[in-house]
Chains A and B, each alone.
Chain A
């Protein structure tokens, strides 16, 4: 908590200190009651006995259920982002084209796939592969759906990245006689990608979380589904879901902190210029800097595309 937050309230005097302590105690009591209730009920159901946690100490739980699940989740997420990135870049550039016959269709495709839920795309992709091409591959269907959705999200990321570059960049490129294509590939795109790197890493968090959708209907053995299957054989539903949730949190926090490192480094290199991923509303208005991380490190996912 930085000092800047204190702008919202006065330094606590004797009365305010007492009041703050009372609120703290009341809140602690409420929290303690909820925790006790959860603990007591789970204990009553026998979900917290050492025996239910024992499987996590054996190799089988990890090698047969959780690790393959983590591997499938990561594989689906990384294949999707690697395919979606170049396609997204193409669509993002196409939306900036001077030619209406390129710009308009690209815009329609991007807006369409942004409006359709990923789960719906997954169910459809899976059905198409099964009935038309005659092969059932949950991973292919998952990757197809994730690519269709995320290429359109990334197209918007690229578009806003290119638009955020100073106008002088494209004017200078044209002035020294570059073609539109050269200007885009040599001048604009390299700068935009550097600026967009944190946003792209943050989008990986969204993709990673969306892989869990594939376990619902199309049966990809990702982490959640693998955990659910293990829970029914070990009869330890609650411990498994606690562990699965912790694994997701750890993976996503790692990606989020990578994004904020990239963000800080990028800002330093560009001499403090605001990154374009910030939502319009947090532009350089001298605001109540609640803390430096929220304007910068909060993943763009919560702003545009969760």
Chain B
């Protein structure tokens, strides 16, 4: 296997891996926040909030992520004029385009992954014994307090493992950002395959190793933390 492309200046394997990490990091943070909000809405006392969150989750998770990401660019950006970066005078316009594409991709990942985070948290809420909520109401806590002080902390501890699976899937899903030109691993791999067709297996091994390094330790970490954090009942 010929790994000489790794030292070629035209290809930036580390840069692409870093881009994958950045996409995953911001999308994970965003989807954790949006997913928690959606889960809270799905158990809220206001019927409209419940209905909206239910429809949102069922619509969003049934559309392929590829379609979501391409809609982000072709519909939200180019048709609806959703621009997420500012064009600085005197700076290479490519920087503006790259930043904009990156943020559109992250927004797309957040909107999609949040539905899976929401469903995991909802499953976690199910594991909390009814008595916890009844006791909380009995001492006069409001819905927001019942949820944020009593239910959600216990629910989160129960779903750390499943959330780990969601975020590992997210790491792999970030390759779809290549569809709108974000310079991450899959886009680099596509370029490498076109230019370096002699070292096909070396290219695949390099890309595979990056993803093994990114996903396997995260899986082990989440598995360990979920055992530590599990609520003993």
Q: Are B64 and A212 in contact (CB under 8 A)?
A: yes
- Whole-angstrom distance between the Cβ of B12 and the nearest chain A Cβ: 17
Complex CA gap A247/B33 in Å reads: 29
In-complex Cβ contact of B62 among A16, A47, A249, A283 (8 A):
A249
Q: Are B79 and A217 in contact (CB under 8 A)?
A: no
In-complex Cβ contact of B80 among A7, A41, A124, A304 (8 A):
A41
Q: Are B186 and A119 in contact (CB under 8 A)?
A: yes
Question: At the interface, yes or no: B98 with Cβ under 8 Å from chain A?
Answer: no
Give the contacts of A1-44 with B (CB-CB under 8 A).
1, 4-5, 7-10, 12, 16, 20, 23-24, 27-28, 31, 38, 41-42
In-complex Cβ contact of B175 among A16, A120, A294 (8 A):
A120
Q: Are B70 and A228 in contact (CB under 8 A)?
A: yes
Question: At the interface, yes or no: B139 with Cβ under 8 Å from chain A?
Answer: no
Q: Are B67 and A241 in contact (CB under 8 A)?
A: yes
Q: Are B211 and A120 in contact (CB under 8 A)?
A: yes
A9-B161 contact in complex given A115-B216, A212-B67, C-beta closer than 8 Å: no
In-complex Cβ contact of B137 among A9, A116, A210 (8 A):
A9
In-complex Cβ contact of B169 among A7, A290, A295, A305 (8 A):
A305
Q: Are A285 and B186 in contact (CB under 8 A)?
A: no
Q: Are B126 and A112 in contact (CB under 8 A)?
A: no
Q: Are A241 and B74 in contact (CB under 8 A)?
A: yes
Question: At the interface, yes or no: B200 with Cβ under 8 Å from chain A?
Answer: yes
In-complex Cβ contact of A303 among B45, B64, B162, B207 (8 A):
B162
Q: Are A119 and B176 in contact (CB under 8 A)?
A: yes
Complex CA gap A20/B144 in Å reads: 13
Question: At the interface, yes or no: A289 with Cβ under 8 Å from chain B?
Answer: yes
Q: Are A7 and B79 in contact (CB under 8 A)?
A: no
Q: Which residue of A lies closest to B122 (CB)?
A: A294
Of A87-95, A168-176, A179-187, A274-282, the one contacting chain B is A274-282
Q: Are A8 and B133 in contact (CB under 8 A)?
A: yes
A residues near B147, Cβ cutoff 8 Å: 8
For this complex, into which size category does the number of interface residues on chain B fall?
35 or more
B residues near A24, Cβ cutoff 8 Å: 46-48
Question: At the interface, yes or no: B81 with Cβ under 8 Å from chain A?
Answer: yes
Q: Are A248 and B64 in contact (CB under 8 A)?
A: yes
Contact with A along B220-233 (1 / 0, CB 8 A): 00000000000001
Number of A-B residue pairs at CB separation under 8 A: 219
Give the contacts of A189-248 with B (CB-CB under 8 A).
205, 208-213, 215-217, 224, 228, 237-238, 241, 244-245, 248
A209-B64 contact in complex given A5-B43, A117-B175, A120-B211, C-beta closer than 8 Å: yes
Q: Are B216 and A281 in contact (CB under 8 A)?
A: no
Contact with B along A265-292 (1 / 0, CB 8 A): 0000000000000011111011111100
Give the contacts of A110-125 with B (CB-CB under 8 A).
111-112, 115-120, 123-124
Complex CA gap A127/B123 in Å reads: 41
Q: Are A115 and B215 in contact (CB under 8 A)?
A: yes
Q: Are B80 and A23 in contact (CB under 8 A)?
A: no
Q: Are B125 and A117 in contact (CB under 8 A)?
A: no
Question: At the interface, yes or no: B166 with Cβ under 8 Å from chain A?
Answer: yes
Complex CA gap A295/B147 in Å reads: 19
- Whole-angstrom distance between the Cβ of A119 and the nearest chain B Cβ: 4
5 A-B residue pairings within 8 Å (CB atoms): A117-B172, A120-B189, A287-B125, A302-B61, A306-B166
Known: A216-B176, A241-B71. 14 other contacts (CB 8 A): A1-B47, A7-B130, A24-B47, A42-B80, A47-B79, A112-B208, A120-B189, A211-B64, A256-B62, A280-B161, A281-B123, A288-B126, A288-B151, A302-B120
Q: Which A residues are within 8 Å of any B CB, using their own CB? A: 1, 4-5, 7-10, 12, 16, 20, 23-24, 27-28, 31, 38, 41-42, 45, 47, 111-112, 115-120, 123-124, 127-128, 131-132, 205, 208-213, 215-217, 224, 228, 237-238, 241, 244-245, 248-249, 252-253, 256, 279-283, 285-290, 294-295, 298, 302-306
